[in-house]
Structure 1
Amino acid sequence: MALDAQTLTTLAAGEPISAFSAALVAILTGAGLVALLAQRLRLPTIPAYLITGVVLGPSAINVMGRAEQVHGGSTGALDFVGDLAVVLLMFGIGLHLDLSTLRRGMAPMLVAAAFSTLLSTLLLWPAATLLGASATTALVLAMAGALSSTAVVLRLLQERRELHRQHGRVALAILLVQDMVVPAMLIVVPLLAPQSATDAALDTSPSSNMFVRAGLTVVAILGIVVLGRYALPLVLDFASKCGARSMEVLTILSLAFAMGAASITQLLGLSPALGAFLGGFLLSGTLFRHALAGQIGTLRDVALAIFFTVIGMRLDLAAAADHLPTILLGLAGLIVLKTIALTLSIWFVGSTLRIALTVALALAGGGEFALVIFNVAEDAGALPKTLTTTATTIIVLSMLLIAPSMAFARMIASKWRLAAVPPWGKRATALLDTHAHDDPNAHPLRHVIVAGFGLVGRAVSDRLINAGDRVTVIEMNMQTVQRQQRLGRAFVFGDVSDPAVLESAGLLEADALILTIPDEHAVAAACTTARALRPDLFIVARASYMSRGVLAKSLGANAVVVEEIVTAEAMEKIVEHELQVRAGEVPVTPAPSPQASAPHPTPPDSPSPQP
């Protein structure tokens, strides 16, 4: 049907675009383009989002102001997206905190992390007063400045495959402890606001309900713990057995729990980030943790892009230009003081000076949670807006310097040995040796990841294990995963095309990935994801048809086993053998077949000789 002028006019007379929608489109477009440019230049994306916000903010394009002026309405809903981003970020950090992996060598790492955070705060506190801050405001700035960027540092270490190295493990431990301290900081910061003293004074009156509120807080936290530790895993376990869309149900239920926990803590006057962190941490001990982390990862990344862009839009370039000497001095002070504090703390617990300095330079910059703390402090009245602009500018600039700082650390490590350890530090208990047995170079076994535990997956796994290889299986059937884990096998629940699931299975250090699942769409997605994470990984894929095999090869598979070709070869061998027997060319023997020559796979419930 042709569209005439009247029809076009009618279509154009629909609902007007809201200011929120217009601003959101501009933010996502700008953030996406700048992130693409940052990836091409091998720069971290979070500072790129902040720079995007500066360009789109009132100091330049003023996207929000123009959207409200042209389309009417308010763009305040973007603040809700920012709150959602913080909740998802804290929930994800809670999911990734597996304390069982940190028990070995936990003591020196806790000492290094706690001492470095405390020492950084103590050194930055008096320095922050040079920015014109009061004692309490300077303490807020110091606590925020003591934090490092988990997102940027881990991303850079991962890209260089340095997470398994000594300095990577130390940096990871310190970052995890810092992330665990963030909820406590988010509780303390509002108490440092000027009005907090007045509120506290009011709470001391006989009619105060302070004790009632404290009791409700304890009861609510205990309720969240009971639900997250006992009730929710049972519900998720039931949901995982309900069909093909179980992963969708798991994600929805988990996000509902995280948002509910965040709402409860906010209702009690605490930070919603604390509730989200607690919800994620309670689920970190379940089999669903890796799958859930992967499922919420995309939503979290989008929300964080909006959050950091909106944070960047709060920067006032004119005000920053007026305080340029202060900003440069603060930037230098932040990096120098944190480098000193981190180097001394890590060296103190027994690390070499080279490892200590390498980690210190990587963590010397500010972090994304400093921006969250500034946001909370400003809303609570604990941080004036002018200081927020100055401090945010310092943090943003320091995050931009993380990559060059890590490159500088590698240059120092390559030129100077710096092997000195403290006189009281023994090599056997030094921090750098706490995870020596986790070094892939020290493990003689080859590591192979097998996706799927059907008949093909079982046969492949058993053959590899009998050959002396270390095998990790990724499987979507929760009952199978639970049963095999009880038998002592290395199984991970989740979708093989999910980056978080692949990384949890050890893809970054694996020698090969074998895709035995019959779902060809999942095989194609897994090839793409695995190749992006590990360009040098050897990938073998299964395909039913030749066309699908060609597709898998084009997406990153090194080798493909096509069922059509294998069937044809087997049938040809059987027929050729029979013809040779009839012609008297070979003695009468059973015709060869793959089924006759292959060992039978172990039953699902029998233990296999996993090393």
Structure 2
Amino acid sequence: MSVAEGTGELVRVVALLGSAVVMVPIFRRLGLGSILGYLAAGLLIGPFGLGWFSDPTAILHVAELGVVMFLFVIGLEMQPSHLWNLRREIFGLGTVQIGVCALVLTGVLLAFGFALPVAFIGAMGFVLTSTATVVQLLGERGDLALPHGQRIISVLLFEDLLIVPLLALVAFMSPHAVEGDAVSRWQTVGVALASLGGLVAAGLWLLNPLFRILAASRAREVMTAAALLVVLGAALLMQLGGLSMAMGAFLAGVLLSESSFRHQLEADIEPFRGILLGLFFLAVGMSLDLGVVARNLPLILGGVVAMMIAKAVCIYAVARLLRASHAEALDRGVVMAQGGEFAFVLYSAAAAAGVIDAPFNASITAIVVLSMVLTPVCVLVLQRLARSSAPSMEDVDLAEGLSGNVLIIGFGRFGQVVSQALLARGYDVAIIDTDTDMIRSAAEFGFKIYYGDGRRADVLRASGAGEARVIAVCVDDRTAAKAIVELARHEFAQAKLLVRAYDRRHAVELVGQGVDYQVRETFDAAIAFGEAALRALGVDADAARETAEEVRRRDAERFVVDVTEGLRVGRHLLIGNQPKPTPLTKPQRESVALSEETAEVAARETAS
């Protein structure tokens, strides 16, 4: 390669980085989001803009690694038990939503005059939502870890799995297919299953020992290289098996989600993920063929509007049918109303197999790209409309620059009682909540409560979690409590973590997370209530108290067994070791001991 050629390549790299550095801040400043900034930058420097790049497809193939790394990071946040809890959303919600959308979108393309096989392939490509677009939007809003965000991720995972049978279906639909291909198809399925099994085996028995050895070497750059090796190796293995690269990276992340190296892996991958994902959106912007759009303007614009509206309505209807709130269903419909990157793969395979022709491939690809471009705009419009109808923030202050010995998260009935003892002893207490009506009501009684979501790290920092000696999690949502605990344990380890448990199972999970103290919200009250019921029935006061203490003692014994068994099962699921009881760590023993001590104190207070 000559010096001139090398300089030319460097100029292209500088052009890519420069366009992103200029456009993204401008679009974010205008409140339009980073995705639109990347798309606009790609369109500007692409073959249909300034023409600095002539082959956006090549860049798109490389940039897909950004999506792969994003799925790996998401996998790190999902423990196997949590993924198992989402099985109904993945296979139930995912199946219903995809089935309804496929049926309706096929009807839309039939109405445009296309034949049934062509309409079906076009519809199925549009059903496959853009994982990169949706996850980026959810990440910017801080919704990835929230319940409604997890439901969207579940559907995306199921759609990623769907690409495999769809590609097989394209082969069956090909007019060039022959009966002798059946054997090779079964071989393809076998290779896919073998690849999947190999990845799971490597995750269970090789990855954790590998990272322990590398950590002992204390070479940071080697750990970073190993993190990239895991992500790219998993993606390559799935690609060789004919499966989704993103799905392989996600599975690798899940298998490492309970590893002690999880946060280090996430930190190592993050810079590469961000750059490559931005490059992906740049390549999508470059891929928008303005010539095709101009030649088929009525078809493409009509197709974009019809397909996006039809898909959004279907998603909204399914969400409402499955008892989602109006706001959540509407948000899900708008966020997932576009086609995705896997549509390009499906359409290319269908064109190669002769199922669709080149003009339809160009038009439907342009429709998908335009839908990805328009989605951030639609989300922005929805946010503006929702903000205008959102609860008033009048007389409500945001959490910012707070400090105190104790940070209380959640000021419902439970949090109010907790705060009284702390305030009575003169401790500085910072309190945050998300219920604006409650915040205003509390102000009437002299309580200063700040608005803030404890599931966000920036809010916790602004609330003084970095200096607090105690963080008291008093929310009544077990999912939110789990997210707050995970965040606080990692980011604010200096603080003692006290958590309100919803029930016995939740209490066991919290001990497994290593909280310093947990208490079931209704247990002590129910024990006292039961003792009072015995007295009302004429049982002697001492006998009633002894019975209550016996119930507490037996519960404490069962609780220790449940905690030990829960830890054993969790460890067994992660690394496949022999099923034997796992000894409790010191924080876990202290948490259980504190539960028993609380029971004894409560019994003495009741007796007195």
Partner of 1:305: 278
Separation in structure 1 between the aligned mates of residue 456 and residue 243 of structure 2, nearest angstrom: 36
Partner of 2:127: 146
Which residue, out of 73, 90, 97, partners 1:116?
97
Partner of 2:576: none
- Partner amino acid for 1:222? G
Separation in structure 2 between the aligned mates of residue 109 and residue 221 of structure 1, nearest angstrom: 18
Partner of 2:295: 322
Following superposition, the deviation at residue 299 of structure 1 comes to 0.5
Partner of 1:512: 464
The C-alpha deviation readout for 1:100-157, integer Å capped at 9, x for no partner, is 3466686468644432232122211221345565434433432343354555556555
1:374 aligns with 2:344: yes
Separation in structure 1 between the aligned mates of residue 57 and residue 375 of structure 2, nearest angstrom: 29
Separation in structure 2 between the aligned mates of residue 140 and residue 610 of structure 1, nearest angstrom: 60
Cα–Cα, structure 1 residues 298 and 607, in superposed 2: closer, same or farther, change >3 Å?
Answer: same
Count of aligned residue pairs for this structure pair: 429
Separation in structure 1 between the aligned mates of residue 137 and residue 174 of structure 2, nearest angstrom: 40
Which residue, out of 311, 315, 337, partners 1:365?
337
1:128 aligns with 2:109: yes
- Partner amino acid for 1:38? F
Separation in structure 1 between the aligned mates of residue 69 and residue 231 of structure 2, nearest angstrom: 8
Following superposition, the deviation at residue 52 of structure 1 comes to 1.7
The C-alpha deviation readout for 1:403-462, integer Å capped at 9, x for no partner, is 1123334546769xxxxxxxxxxxxxxxxxxxxxxx95659569xxxxxxxxxxxxxxxx
1:395 aligns with 2:372: yes
Separation in structure 1 between the aligned mates of residue 158 and residue 120 of structure 2, nearest angstrom: 19
Separation in structure 2 between the aligned mates of residue 381 and residue 34 of structure 1, nearest angstrom: 35
- Partner amino acid for 1:92? V
Following superposition, the deviation at residue 227 of structure 1 comes to 0.5
Cα–Cα, structure 1 residues 94 and 192, in superposed 2: closer, same or farther, change >3 Å?
Answer: farther
Cα–Cα, structure 1 residues 309 and 351, in superposed 2: closer, same or farther, change >3 Å?
Answer: closer
- Partner amino acid for 2:290? L
Partner of 1:237: 212
Which residue, out of 573, 576, 590, partners 1:607?
590
Partner of 1:405: 382
Partner of 1:38: 27
Whether the aligned pair in 1 keeps the contact of 2:126 and 2:343 (CA below 8 Å) is: no
Partner of 2:573: none
Following superposition, the deviation at residue 159 of structure 1 comes to 5.3
Partner of 1:292: 265
Separation in structure 2 between the aligned mates of residue 351 and residue 329 of structure 1, nearest angstrom: 30
Following superposition, the deviation at residue 325 of structure 1 comes to 2.4
Separation in structure 2 between the aligned mates of residue 193 and residue 400 of structure 1, nearest angstrom: 36
- Partner amino acid for 1:389? A
Partner of 2:163: 185
Partner of 2:62: 81
TM-score, with normalisation over the residues of structure 1?
A: 0.59
Partner of 1:496: none
Partner of 1:455: none
Whether the aligned pair in 2 keeps the contact of 1:193 and 1:381 (CA below 8 Å) is: no
Following superposition, the deviation at residue 40 of structure 1 comes to 0.9
Separation in structure 2 between the aligned mates of residue 349 and residue 236 of structure 1, nearest angstrom: 42
- Partner amino acid for 2:180? L
Whether the aligned pair in 2 keeps the contact of 1:95 and 1:284 (CA below 8 Å) is: yes
The C-alpha deviation readout for 1:450-488, integer Å capped at 9, x for no partner, is xxxxxxxxxxxxxxxx99999xxxxxxxxxxxxxxxxxx
Following superposition, the deviation at residue 87 of structure 1 comes to 3.0
Following superposition, the deviation at residue 266 of structure 1 comes to 2.7
Cα–Cα, structure 1 residues 396 and 162, in superposed 2: closer, same or farther, change >3 Å?
Answer: closer
Correspondence list, 1:466-485, <5 A = none
Whether the aligned pair in 2 keeps the contact of 1:323 and 1:390 (CA below 8 Å) is: no
Following superposition, the deviation at residue 197 of structure 1 comes to 5.6
Which residue, out of 209, 222, 237, partners 1:264?
237
Partner of 2:253: 280
Q: Secondary structure at the match of 1:233?
A: helix
Following superposition, the deviation at residue 63 of structure 1 comes to 0.6
- Aligned-residue sequence identity (percent) comes to 25
- Partner amino acid for 2:14? V
Separation in structure 1 between the aligned mates of residue 386 and residue 587 of structure 2, nearest angstrom: 50
The C-alpha deviation readout for 1:155-208, integer Å capped at 9, x for no partner, is 5556556668xxx6224312332234213225524642688563563324xxx5
Q: Secondary structure at the match of 2:47?
A: coil
Cα–Cα, structure 1 residues 232 and 60, in superposed 2: closer, same or farther, change >3 Å?
Answer: same
Separation in structure 1 between the aligned mates of residue 412 and residue 85 of structure 2, nearest angstrom: 17
Cα–Cα, structure 1 residues 44 and 142, in superposed 2: closer, same or farther, change >3 Å?
Answer: farther
Partner of 1:227: 202
1:347 aligns with 2:327: no
Whether the aligned pair in 2 keeps the contact of 1:148 and 1:365 (CA below 8 Å) is: yes
- Partner amino acid for 1:512? G
Partner of 1:47: 36
TM-score, with normalisation over the residues of structure 2?
A: 0.59
The C-alpha deviation readout for 1:366-414, integer Å capped at 9, x for no partner, is 16xx134224532663664422123322332234322112333454676
- Partner amino acid for 2:201? V
Q: Secondary structure at the match of 2:465?
A: strand
Tell me how large the CA RMSD over aligned residues is: 4.4
Following superposition, the deviation at residue 314 of structure 1 comes to 2.0
Whether the aligned pair in 1 keeps the contact of 2:337 and 2:375 (CA below 8 Å) is: yes
Cα–Cα, structure 1 residues 126 and 440, in superposed 2: closer, same or farther, change >3 Å?
Answer: farther
1:218 aligns with 2:218: no
1:174 aligns with 2:152: yes
Separation in structure 1 between the aligned mates of residue 224 and residue 411 of structure 2, nearest angstrom: 36
